[in-house]
Amino acid sequence: MLRLRKKTALPLLAPALAAMVALSACGSKDQPDLAAGKQLFTQKCGACHILNNAGTKGTQGPNLDLAFAEDIRDGLGRSTIEGVVRGQIKVPQGGVMPAKLVEGKEATDVSAYVADAIGKKAGASAGGGPSGTAKANAQNVVEIPTDPTGQLAYKFKNASAKAGKVTVQSKNDASVPHDIALQGGPAGKVVSGGATSTFTANLKPGSYTFYCTVPGHEQAGMKGTLTVR
């Protein structure tokens, strides 16, 4: 039996839960794009909702990680959660969430992403997260490629280089556009489909933040630390 615990504090979803569960059986013929869903959620929903995987800290709406926590532990399928989220997007409850915030394929992508991401750490859905450290080669060039699946993440969360002229390259094999930039410094071009975003800077020893300038991507976790020694 589908149920939401009182302690999950889900004020916007609980009132129409039964109707939404019915919607989950209908589904969608569109194949969801989790990377696109994460980007849309971060841009359009993150100001209101907490979702750890997306790195959002909103307070107006329910904490989505807590909302279904017990139900997932009890074996509630994520496909059912996807239907509930899709139903809430289609018929918002409580007068807080605006109607038609996302529609059609975008609604499919957002609801699928939220269902997949609930309870997972940042970077844990849609292909895993960044790990290890990217180290500069003999020419002081650092390669920090993006996640090839389209996940809003670089393959490395940390990088290191020697002081002086540093070149950072980020190959993007996914169709989702990305770039790489230095906070307060230069930025490479926004690229996709196997192209490489590159910037060069003269850097003194210290710690610098690299990130993606595409709206919503940094907030979703596309950033890391470049240590220059």
Instruction: Reply yes or no on whether the pLDDT at 19 is more than 60.
Output: no
Between residues 70 and 200, the one the model is more confident about:
200
Among 3.40.50.720, 2.60.40.420, 3.40.50.11810, 2.60.40.10, name the CATH number for the domain at 133-228: 2.60.40.420
Cα(61)–Cα(40) distance, rounded to whole angstroms?
A: 16
Q: Which CATH class is domain 6-117?
A: mainly alpha
Q: What is the pLDDT of residues 73-130, one digit of tens each?
A: 777 778 888 888 888 888 887 667 887 788 899 989 988 888 888 887 765 544 345 5
CATH 2.60.40.420 boundaries in the chain: 133-228
- Distance, in Å, from the CA atom of 176 to the CA atom of 197, rounded to the nearest integer, reads 13
Q: Report the C-alpha gap between 82 and 23 in whole angstroms.
A: 10
CB 35 within 8 A of CB 53: no
Question: Residue 9's CB: how many other CB atoms inside 10 A?
Answer: 12
**Would you give the DSSP letter of residue 187?**
B
CB–CB of 172/145 below 8 Å? yes
Instruction: Reduce the DSSP state of residue 143 to 3 states and report it.
Output: strand
Rounded Cα distance, 159 and 142, in Å: 7
